[in-house]
Chains A and B, each alone.
Chain A
Amino acid sequence: MKLLAWLGRKVGGALVVLWLVATAIFIGVRLIPGDPAEAIMGGPGSQASAEALANARSEYGLDLPIISQYFLFLAKLIRLDFGTSYSFKDPVLQIMGEVLPPTINLALMALVVAWLLALLFALLAMRANKVGQLLGNAVEIVAAAVPHFWLGAVLIMLFSSMLGWLPAVANGTPAGLVLPVLTLALPLAGFLTQLMRDSLNTAMGSQFALAARARGESRLTVFRRHGLRHAALPALGLTGWAFSSLLSGAVVVEAIFARPGLGRSLLSAVLARDIPMVTGIALFSALVYIVVMALTEAIERLIDPAGAES
């Protein structure tokens, strides 16, 4: 029952958030000066035909009062009818089904790699001496400050142009995935390591770690059984944010490595000012963020020794 109530609250919250995002987009479109039909069809530069404009007007009910337009817009969204992308000439939902999986794949792989790297760095940092600590600190700060678009370019220069080990273009082979995933994962790994190291140091210096050592557990066992949980929690709490930053990064990475996906479609939709397509992508990414947030909350409850009962 408790689980159902929790689920109910999450779904309710998600619907409110999606409704707000949709409302913001509706207001945004009406704020564009000029004819909203023209705005939906890509702005004055697109030179939409009179027929296309008339179609848009009737499809979006633009001759109706603004309140009716708003409810018509929401009703269409509820039926998952995002309209037809005017630049791709296909229904938005269908395009989304094609471009979403590669991007989610890329982001998930980057998330896993970033976590592994962060765990590794945190472990290394724990064992390092003073010079090693300083060096680690510097690497983390730089890793967290590196923009994706530059890191991608540098990785291509190194591993593709100079060494010739990996392809510079995402060509669908596993080798073609290495550079895009690394480009996304490295900055995130920098953030996560910073977080983990702080909490790991606190945990390993705490009373319960000392008690466990006194009971005769080895340093590694203490780390595995106690330290890791405490180190992982704050970083885990950021997974929602991390995933959202990965989606941002995916726009850039897909552009650099010529990889098809949500980001590239969004970019071309923005350049064409394709409002139906942009609306669909914004709502979907908000939904993804909400789902990831709910999942992390569930995992946090499983891991957190203090939160298990509550």
Chain B
Amino acid sequence: MSRTAKILSSLFILFWVLTAFVPALIAPADPLAINPSQAFQAPSGAHIFGTDESGRDVFTRVIHGAGDSLYIGLAATALGMGLALVLGTAAALAPRWLDEVILRVLEALYSVPSLLMALLIIAFTGPGVGPAIVAVGLSTAPGYARLVRSQIRTLKNSEMLEAATVLGRGTWLKVRNHLVPNALQPLLALVTLGIGQAVIWAAALSFLGLGTPPPAPEWGAMLSAGRTYLHLAWWLSFFPGLAIVVVAAGATLIGRALGGKVKAL
């Protein structure tokens, strides 16, 4: 990554971390405070993103929604990646027949489209924030697991590991010195890309009424609530969605930059 790209990426991440943890720093008002006399105000100097049907400030709500939206996305990615690491590593290091079995299971899981799988899980668990995290995490795990498996397999058969074996290095040393550092960076790129996707999936579930319930200022839920007034007040749906796009596009860019570095190695 170039120096400028590093600085920009760091600033981007810093901004969202700040927004998620101390939203009041950027938007001091109360995201739930209603003010019916100020309902449906178009974006202006006083309300840069306008106000919603109850007169709540949309900008304040978008900023305060970052915490929930990003938390669900991060937690889901962590869950999916954790599972993928276990399954993918097991498949790569296991004997051939077990590898075959795990691969088949992953293929079966992969053949159900992500959002359909998430909905399937919610059919069992019922809607809510916890189920949304589990649903998004589990539905992204098979894709990650396949990548982790091929990553580890390539490393396992690489010449540097052969050299380490010839030199008599123990398993622990091989894992610590070669497997982990070389597998980590591509995974980091993958995780970054994954967070962007997970934020979108999680918002999609809230949008469908299966994740965070209103009136919490979660982006998907806000978009869904704004949909009723699409013809009347475009800003209700536009700005929460814009926040999702900014996060997802930023994550994609950073992930690709990290991936590019990996390729150059």
Listed in ascending order, the chain A residues whose CB lies under 8 Å from chain B are: 16-18, 20-21, 24-25, 28-29, 31-32, 39, 43, 141-142, 144-150, 153-154, 156-157, 160-161, 168, 244-245, 247-249, 251-252, 255-256, 266-267, 269-271, 273-275, 278, 281-282, 285-286, 289-290, 293
Complex: A55 Cα to B159 Cα, angstroms: 63
Complex contacts, B230 vs chain A, CB 8 Å:
153, 156-157, 161, 168
Complex contacts, B121 vs chain A, CB 8 Å:
28
A185 to chain B, nearest CB (A): 16
Complex: A271 Cα to B120 Cα, angstroms: 10
Q: Which A residue sits closest to B242, measured CB to CB?
A: A150
| 13 sample A-B contacts, Cβ–Cβ < 8 Å, listed by A number | A24-B109, A32-B125, A142-B249, A145-B200, A145-B245, A146-B248, A149-B223, A149-B241, A157-B230, A161-B234, A251-B116, A270-B123, A289-B111
Would you call B180 an interface residue if the criterion is a C-beta within 8 Å of the partner chain's C-beta atoms?
A: no
Complex: A270 Cα to B209 Cα, angstroms: 11
Would you call B126 an interface residue if the criterion is a C-beta within 8 Å of the partner chain's C-beta atoms?
A: yes
Interface size on B, residues (CB 8 A): 47
Complex contacts, A245 vs chain B, CB 8 Å:
113-114
Q: Are A153 and B238 in contact (CB under 8 A)?
A: yes
Complex contacts, A146 vs chain B, CB 8 Å:
245, 248
Tell me whether A266 and B245 are in contact in the complex, defined as CB-CB below 8 angstroms, given that A29-B124, A141-B253, A282-B112 are known contacts.
Answer: no
Complex contacts, B113 vs chain A, CB 8 Å:
244-245, 247-248, 285, 289
Q: Are A282 and B120 in contact (CB under 8 A)?
A: yes
Would you call B144 an interface residue if the criterion is a C-beta within 8 Å of the partner chain's C-beta atoms?
A: no
Top 4 nearest A-B pairs by Cβ distance?
A150-B241, A248-B115, A20-B108, A145-B248
Q: Which B residue sits closest to A187, measured CB to CB?
A: B200
Complex contacts, A144 vs chain B, CB 8 Å:
252
Complex: A212 Cα to B40 Cα, angstroms: 63
Q: Are A278 and B204 in contact (CB under 8 A)?
A: no
Q: Are B234 and A32 in contact (CB under 8 A)?
A: no
Complex: A302 Cα to B248 Cα, angstroms: 36
Q: Which B residue sits closest to A245, measured CB to CB?
A: B113
Tell me whether A252 and B111 are in contact in the complex, defined as CB-CB below 8 angstroms, given that A141-B249, A161-B230 are known contacts.
Answer: no
Q: Are A251 and B119 in contact (CB under 8 A)?
A: yes
Listed in ascending order, the chain B residues whose CB lies under 8 Å from chain A are: 104-105, 107-109, 111-117, 119-127, 196, 200, 203-204, 207-210, 220, 223-224, 226-227, 230-231, 234, 237-238, 241-242, 244-245, 248-249, 252-253
Complex: A274 Cα to B249 Cα, angstroms: 36
Complex contacts, A149 vs chain B, CB 8 Å:
203-204, 207, 220, 223-224, 241
B185 to chain A, nearest CB (A): 21
Q: Are B238 and A154 in contact (CB under 8 A)?
A: yes
Complex contacts, A32 vs chain B, CB 8 Å:
124-125
Q: Are B112 and A286 in contact (CB under 8 A)?
A: yes
Tell me whether A286 and B111 are in contact in the complex, defined as CB-CB below 8 angstroms, given that A157-B234, A251-B119 are known contacts.
Answer: yes
Complex contacts, A29 vs chain B, CB 8 Å:
124
Besides A28-B124, A147-B241, 18 other A-B contacts (C-beta < 8 A):
A20-B108, A145-B196, A147-B204, A147-B248, A149-B223, A150-B242, A153-B223, A157-B238, A160-B231, A161-B230, A168-B231, A248-B114, A251-B115, A251-B208, A252-B204, A270-B122, A282-B116, A293-B111
Complex: A168 Cα to B227 Cα, angstroms: 12
Q: Which A residue sits closest to B197, measured CB to CB?
A: A145
Q: Are B104 and A270 in contact (CB under 8 A)?
A: no
Q: Contact check: which of B108, B123, B208 meets A24 at CB < 8 Å?
A: B108
Q: Which A residue sits closest to B247, measured CB to CB?
A: A145
B237 to chain A, nearest CB (A): 5
B109 to chain A, nearest CB (A): 8
Complex: A31 Cα to B227 Cα, angstroms: 36
Complex contacts, B223 vs chain A, CB 8 Å:
149-150, 153
Q: Are A145 and B252 in contact (CB under 8 A)?
A: yes
A23 to chain B, nearest CB (A): 9
Q: Which A residue sits closest to B203, measured CB to CB?
A: A147
A83 to chain B, nearest CB (A): 14
Complex contacts, A251 vs chain B, CB 8 Å:
115-116, 119, 208
Q: Which A residue sits closest to B125, measured CB to CB?
A: A32
A172 to chain B, nearest CB (A): 21
Tell me whether A150 and B245 are in contact in the complex, defined as CB-CB below 8 angstroms, given that A245-B114, A251-B116, A290-B111 are known contacts.
Answer: yes
Q: Contact check: which of B124, B209, B227 meets A256 at CB < 8 Å?
A: B227
Complex contacts, A16 vs chain B, CB 8 Å:
104, 108
